[in-house]
Structure 1
Amino acid sequence: MEFNVPAFRPHQFANRKRNIDKAVNGLIGILSGVTADTKLNQNELMYLNIWLKSQSSLRDDPDAIDLLDLIADVVEDGAVSSEEMHDLLTLCNDVVTYRSSEDEGIYEAKINEFLGVLQGVVADGSVNRQEFDFLIGWLRENDVVEDDWLVEQVVSRANQIMSDGIVTQGELTEFGDLVKQLTGYQFNETGSAECSSIAYLEDSIEKIEQDSLICFTGTFVSGSRRILEGLAVSKGLKPKNRITKSLNYLVIGELVTPDWRFQSYGRKIEQAVKYREEGIPIKILSEKNWTQLID
C-alpha cells in the first residue's frame, strides 16, 4: 500500500511560529490600547471580538479562547453590565501583564505590539486624551522602535500637538485620523478589524510611464503575481523581484499576507519607504489603483 506523504517543508513551521508571535504581540498591543483609558465601551468590545475571531494563528491560544468566551458571555443577553465590563477589563489587563513578561522584547515583536496599540486606541473610532497619553508613554518606554518609519509619523505628529503644552479636542481628532490612516482603520464602515497601512503610503498617480521598472508584493485579488507581471510586460513595463534604487513603482496587493515581516507591511514596502525618505522617487500604489491605471 502506498501513501502520498506531503514533503516536509521546514519554512512552513517557521512561518507558523512567526505568525503566532506576530498575532500574540498584536494582541498585547490591542489589549493595551483598548484599556488605555481604564474602561471599555461597546465599540471597543465589538472590535476586539472581531479581531480575535479573524486571527487564525490564535485559534488554539488559551488567552484568546478565554477572551472570546468571556466576550460571548458578556454580549449573550444583549446588555452589558458594568460588572461584566470590569471582568473583561481585568482579564485584558491580566493577559497584557502575563504575555508582556515573555522574552519577546526584540525590535520586530515591539513593532507588532505598537501596531496593536494603534489599533487598540482607535478601536472605537476616536482617540481620547487618556489613550493619547498612554500611547506617548508606551513610545517612551519602548525606544527600541524609535527609528521605524511608522513610529516616526506618530512621534512627529504627537510632538507638534504637545509643543504648546495644550492638547485640544481638535488635535485629538486629527491625531485619531492619522492613526486610522496608518492602520487602515475601517471598522465602522466595513466591520473589518484587519490592520492595513497601505492608504497612508499610496502616491497619487495618474499615469504609469512605459519602460518603467515595477515590483509587486503582497497577495492580489486580481490574480497571481506571475499573471500581474505578465500583464505589466504587455503594457510595456519591466517587472522586478526586489526593491532597488532604480525601481519606479511598487504595487501592493489588496489582501493582507500573514507571512509578511510585520502585520501590515513587508520587507519590500519597508525598503521602498526607506528609499523614499532618502529622496529616491519610488511610487507606491495599491492593487486597486494599479488596476484602474492599466484598464
Structure 2
Amino acid sequence: MKAFEICFTGFNAGERNELETLAASISLLVKKSVTKNLHILCIGDNAGPSKKDKAREFGALILNKSQFAHFIDTGELPITAVEHLLTLVESRTPPKRKYSPSDTPLNKDAQPYGRFNQVANIEKAISSLHGILLGITADSKLKPAEHAFLDLWLRTHGEVSDDPDMVDIVDVLNDVLEDGIIDDDEYDDLFCLINDVNDVRGFNEPGSHNQINQLLGLLQGISADDEINEKEIDALVIWLDANQQILDKWPASVVTSKLCEILEDGIITEDEKKDLLLTVQKITGNHFCETGDVTDNTTECFDDISEIPHDNIGFCFTGKFKSGSRKTVESKAQSLGAMTSKDVLLSTQFLVIGTLASRDWKYLSHGRKIEKAMSLKEKGHDVYVISEEQWLAAL
C-alpha cells in the first residue's frame, strides 16, 4: 500500500518544516496541497477555511498539532480516527482485475508502444508540462487561449494524467481550469508539487535533456495566445539564466541570441515581440490559435534554399513522412543519385524532416538528428535542414 499522504497548513515556515521532517521520519508522504488523494490534514492556529473545507470534501482526516504530536510519540490515534482512515483507504482502492491484452497502449497502426519509449515519452511530457505552466503563468494571467491550450493539452496527454506522481498536480490543474483562475495558493501548490516530482525523478539535473523539453514547453506556453509580452520575455530570460548549462545547445542557443538582440538597446518594440514570436513558433512548430493543435509538432526552422541537388550528395531523413515510409523516401533519393545515411554525418548536406513529428523523438519538436544538424550548422558546416514539402517540390 502507498504511504499515507499528509499536508500541513496554518503554521509558520519554521514549524511547518519541523512537522514535515517528523512526518517524513515515520514514512508519511508529505504533500504541499490538499488533493483528492490526501489522507491527513494537520492544521495550525492560522489554518484558513478553504483547505479544511477541501479536506472534508475529499474525506481526509483532520488533526491538530497536539493530536499529530501524540501520534508521532506513541504511534497511536483515537479509534475513530483509525476507523476513518481505514474506511478512506478502502473507498479509494480500485477493485483488482485480470490483465487483458487490450490493456496495452497501441499506436495508430495497432502496434504496442515499446516499454522503454513509453517511459521516456511520459518523462518528456511531464517536463514539457512544467515548461507550459511556467509560460502561461508568466504574466500572472490565464487568458482564454491559454486556458483552452492547457485544457486540450491535458485531455490529449493521458499518459501524464495517468502517471501516479502527477495525480496531485492534475487535481490542482482541474481546479484551475474549472474557474479559469490561478490564485496564489494554487500557484504555490502547483509549483511545489512539480518541484517534488522533478526532485524525485531527477528532472532538474544540469544539462539534462529534460531542460530542453522544459524550455520547449515554456516556449509553447508563452506563445499559446499568439503573442508575447514583456513579462513573458522576462520569464524567458530568468529561465535561461537559471539553466545556463544548455545555452550552447539548440534551440536554447537560438533563443538566447534572439533575446540578446532584442534587449541590447534596453527597449522592446512591438516588431521585436512579433519577431520573437515567429522564432518561437518556428522552433516549436506550434500555432495553436491558428490550428487548435496541441500535439507535439516538428520544428519549422528550415533553410530557405531554391535548388536541392541529389547526385553524389549526402542526405539523411528523419521524422514521419506523408509521402511514404522512411525506406520509400530514401529509395527515391537514391534513385536520383543521392547517398543516404541513417544518421547525420560530416558528409551530410541535407537533412530532410518529415511533416509529422516522431512520437519517439527525444525532444518535443526534434530528435537527435535535428539536434546534431543544428549543432553542425552553428559550427560552420554546410548542412541544410529542409522540410518534406521543400524536398518534394525540388524533385
Distance in 2 between residues matched to 1:92 and 1:128, nearest whole Å: 20
Q: Deviations over 1:132-154 (max 9, x none)?
A: 11111111112121111211111
- Structure 1 residue 66 corresponds to structure 2 residue 171: yes
Whether contact under 8 Å (1:47, 1:187) holds in the other structure is: yes
CA apart distance, 1:173: 2.5
- Structure 1 residue 33 corresponds to structure 2 residue 135: yes
Q: Specify which of 114, 120, 130 is matched with residue 18 of structure 1.
A: 120
Change (3 A) 1:89 1:28: farther
Matches within 5 A, 1:221-240: 221-240=322-341
Distance in 1 between residues matched to 2:279 and 2:300, nearest whole Å: 11
Q: Secondary structure at the match of 2:245?
A: helix
Change (3 A) 1:237 1:93: farther
Q: TM-score with structure 2 length normalisation?
A: 0.65
Whether contact under 8 Å (2:353, 2:385) holds in the other structure is: yes
- Structure 1 residue runs of 5 or longer lacking an equivalent are 75-83
Most deviating of 54-63 and 278-287: 54-63
Q: Which residue of 1 aligns with 2:302?
A: 201
Letter in 1 for 2:195: S
Change (3 A) 1:19 1:120: same
CA apart distance, 1:68: 6.7
Q: Secondary structure at the match of 2:340?
A: strand
- Structure 1 residue 292 corresponds to structure 2 residue 393: yes
Relative contact order, higher structure (CA 8 A, sep 6+): 1
Q: Which residue of 2 aligns with 1:180?
A: 281
Change (3 A) 1:275 1:233: same
CA apart distance, 1:172: 2.0
Q: Which residue of 1 aligns with 2:190?
A: 95
Whether contact under 8 Å (1:70, 1:88) holds in the other structure is: no
Q: Which residue of 1 aligns with 2:245?
A: 144
Q: Specify which of 259, 271, 279 is matched with residue 380 of structure 2.
A: 279
Q: Secondary structure at the match of 2:301?
A: helix
Alpha-carbon RMSD: 2.4
- Identity, in percent, stands at 34
Whether contact under 8 Å (1:49, 1:71) holds in the other structure is: no
Change (3 A) 1:184 1:221: same
Distance in 2 between residues matched to 1:131 and 1:68, nearest whole Å: 20
Q: Which residue of 1 aligns with 2:181?
A: 86
Whether contact under 8 Å (1:31, 1:120) holds in the other structure is: yes
Change (3 A) 1:63 1:286: farther
Letter in 1 for 2:255: V
Letter in 2 for 1:204: I
Change (3 A) 1:44 1:239: same
Distance in 2 between residues matched to 1:86 and 1:235, nearest whole Å: 57
- Whichever of the two has the greater Rg, that structure is 2
Distance in 2 between residues matched to 1:171 and 1:263, nearest whole Å: 25
Whether contact under 8 Å (1:28, 1:100) holds in the other structure is: no
Q: TM-score with structure 1 length normalisation?
A: 0.85
Change (3 A) 1:208 1:198: farther
Distance in 2 between residues matched to 1:22 and 1:218, nearest whole Å: 17
Whether contact under 8 Å (2:361, 2:368) holds in the other structure is: yes
Most deviating of 114-123 and 213-222: 213-222
- Structure 1 residue 255 corresponds to structure 2 residue 383: no
- Structure 1 residue 52 corresponds to structure 2 residue 149: no
Q: Which residue of 2 aligns with 1:80?
A: none
